[in-house]
A and B are shown apart, each in its own frame.
Chain A
Amino acid sequence: MNRLMERYLRLDALPTLFCPGCGNGIVQNAAITAIDNLGIRKDIACVSGIGCSSWIPCYYNMDVMHTTHGRALAFAQGLKLSCPDKKVLVFTGDGDCLAIGGNHMLHACKRNIDMAVIMVNNHIYGMTGGQKSPATPKGVRTKTSPWGAYDEPMEGAELAISMGATYVARWTTAHPVQLEKSIRAGIEHKGFSFIEVISQCPIQSGKGVYGDKDPSFILNYLKKNSYVYKEGMEEPRGKIKCGILKHDNDKTEYIERMQTQLQQYREGKTAKEKKGGAKNK
């Protein structure tokens, strides 16, 4: 077995419940590589919701919280605020984050609270058997869209940018090296980091979204039909936009803002009291 993963996984919990060729396993490896490179195993906790991708951290021999559907971000914010000096890594999926968890995602982005979120996007509700998710492309047939999905899909990374997340990246499972680097940068970044990973679900969405159930075919497809965004480039249409889509180090993070504001208030209050005291004399 892979030496690095052997050190980090709960071996008695294996095999994972992921299907053969599932993209979640690739994300699992990339996240561990990032955590190991940073050397923060004791100072990071993982929080996840419900869904196949939310099972990723359950196999880690680390502090893990496997919470309720869509609410991972709410739990994570509570955890972060109680231990502001420690790191939190959230695993969620396209259904967990954009559907039921949409509200929490909007507010967490807006707060720019310091945590890293990995949203594994397989365009489907995989765990429950292949129903349409908010990220299912238009026209794709799923168990709950038998005549093809009616809606345009939601784009998690763009939503995160518009709501104020300060490190936003999108990669596919066909870009494991860049993905690992982004996860590392996202954890290190002081602010809300949102990393969307387009991942293959060969069993549930393989046929509908990509045309084939073979994981290698899908990986090949993802590699060929994505491009790495660079500012100022002419963007090809119909391809997956990958890359670091936003990296803003200037915007202040939530806890920092909170502490600064409190400090300012207290100083202002003391100054007022001193002034008042001087007057009374």
Chain B
Amino acid sequence: MKSQIAEPHLRSGRKVIYQGNEACAKAAIYAGCRFFAGYPITPSTEIIELMSSEMVNAGGNFIQMEDEIASACAIVGARWGGKKAMTATSGPGFTLMQETIGFAAVTETPVVIVNVQRGGPSTGQPTMSSQQDIYQVKYGSHGDYEIIALSPSSVQEMYDFTIRAFELSEKFRSPVVLLSDEVVGHMREKITIYDGEKKIRSGHRNYVVSPQEDFYTGNNSLVEGQLHDEEGRRIGHLPSKSSDFIQSISQKITNHIDEIQDIETFFMEDADIAILTYGSVSRPALKAVKSAKGIKEHYNLSVGLIKVNTVWPFPENEIRRLTESCKYVFVPEMNIGKYYKEVERCVNHGTVVSMPKIGGELHKPAEILEAIAKEVGHHE
């Protein structure tokens, strides 16, 4: 089953060899991003460096702010001035941006934040990859809110998902995070890119709770961080209205998960064992699935791959459906074992097995197969 993303570009593109971070920057400009504020941090620095010239050449504005907090604030401010805006950072900077992400969620400001993950916590492993921020991206800011997060596993996906991030942020009037990692950010691959600018409709009216127009359009907009009604007036002191507002902010995303979720499957038609991955781990996982003849021969169990491209909101129903007839679901991740808990909650019949790997290296295909063989061997 191929990707559910509708092909974003119908015209033919041209082939180039890009680095992941480079593809992200170029895609943002293609998607109409005309403001970038950022702060250098390994391994996302290539994005800000490229944007410092490309953004200006594209007729937009660029500024290196004094810290990540200021960068996140500046992009929210710029979006209210009518310019699509993006910032890029890594784990420690992403932590600093959390308050502003909450502000963007409550004020329904469409912005794109790129997190090229590295090893944590704190300064951690600046040059090594990880997927340790999978929970921070969903729960990082204080309060109840919903976030949309996309997880690319290749340079082409860095390009395509960045464009999709802008589309989703405008449609749902919400901050969207591109949850990349050092492996994908720094690799180089041949991809298809497009020239010109894709017209992405701004300020989609359907999925907004408190519609405020862009500034300087004569609409007297009130962008308020406190809980507010449709006019922007605060209602934080009214329990019932506050509850309704928070529900609405979240439901505008969760109720339309069909329009957001994007899962690719490989060899899942009659799979008994599913490997569920997101991001760069999908690469060795796919190789493992293709070489899983041994498991088929030995235990008569087929192995398939479920590649989750939109990690949040969690595509619960779809994953439950896909794993309905699976005996096992393996979840390899480059962290201590986090996303597997979400999978475990929704898988009805099979055994969910976490395959955590920390230290900064990707799982090897052989490692994945060995772990599967070991687990299956215990029970079969």
Contact with B along A140-165 (1 / 0, CB 8 A): 00000000000000000000000000
Q: How many residues belonging to B are interface residues under a CB distance threshold of 8 Å? A: 39
Say yes or no: is A68 at the interface (Cβ < 8 Å to chain B): yes
Say yes or no: is B69 at the interface (Cβ < 8 Å to chain A): yes
Contacting residue for A64 out of B65, B76, B221, CB 8 A: B221
User: Are B69 and A81 interface neighbours, CB within 8 A?
Assistant: no
Say yes or no: is B215 at the interface (Cβ < 8 Å to chain A): yes
Interfacial residues of chain B within 60-85, with CB under 8 A of chain A in the complex: 61, 63, 65-67, 69-71, 73-83, 85
If A66-B225, A86-B216, A107-B70 touch, whether A79 touches B80 (CB-CB below 8 Å) is: yes
Say yes or no: is B103 at the interface (Cβ < 8 Å to chain A): yes
If A58-B224, A82-B81 touch, whether A75 touches B218 (CB-CB below 8 Å) is: no
Contacting residue for B216 out of A10, A43, A67, CB 8 A: A43
Chain B: minimal CB distance from A270 (Å): 14
Residues of A within 8 A of B223 (CB): 64-67
Say yes or no: is A62 at the interface (Cβ < 8 Å to chain B): yes
Q: What secondary structure prevails in chain A residues at the interface with B?
A: helix
Chain B: minimal CB distance from A84 (Å): 8
Report Cα–Cα, A12/B75, bound state, in Å.
31
User: Are A104 and B103 interface neighbours, CB within 8 A?
Assistant: no
User: Are A78 and B37 interface neighbours, CB within 8 A?
Assistant: yes
Who on chain B is nearest to A59 by CB?
A: B222
Interface centre among B65, B74, B75, B233 (most CB of A within 10 A): B74
User: Are B77 and A103 interface neighbours, CB within 8 A?
Assistant: no
Say yes or no: is A127 at the interface (Cβ < 8 Å to chain B): no
Say yes or no: is B56 at the interface (Cβ < 8 Å to chain A): yes
Residues of A within 8 A of B123 (CB): none
Residues of B within 8 A of A79 (CB): 77-78, 80-81, 215
Contacting residue for A13 out of B65, B99, B233, CB 8 A: B233
Say yes or no: is A45 at the interface (Cβ < 8 Å to chain B): yes
Contact with B along A41-83 (1 / 0, CB 8 A): 0110101001000000010011111111001001111111111
Say yes or no: is A262 at the interface (Cβ < 8 Å to chain B): yes
Residues of B within 8 A of A58 (CB): 222, 224
Interfacial residues of chain B within 195-231, with CB under 8 A of chain A in the complex: 215-216, 218-226
User: Are B56 and A78 interface neighbours, CB within 8 A?
Assistant: no
If A42-B216, A77-B63, A78-B76 touch, whether A68 touches B100 (CB-CB below 8 Å) is: yes
**Could you list 11 A-B pairs, sorted by A, with CB under 8 Å?**
A61-B220, A66-B222, A67-B77, A67-B223, A71-B73, A74-B65, A74-B69, A78-B75, A103-B66, A104-B66, A107-B65
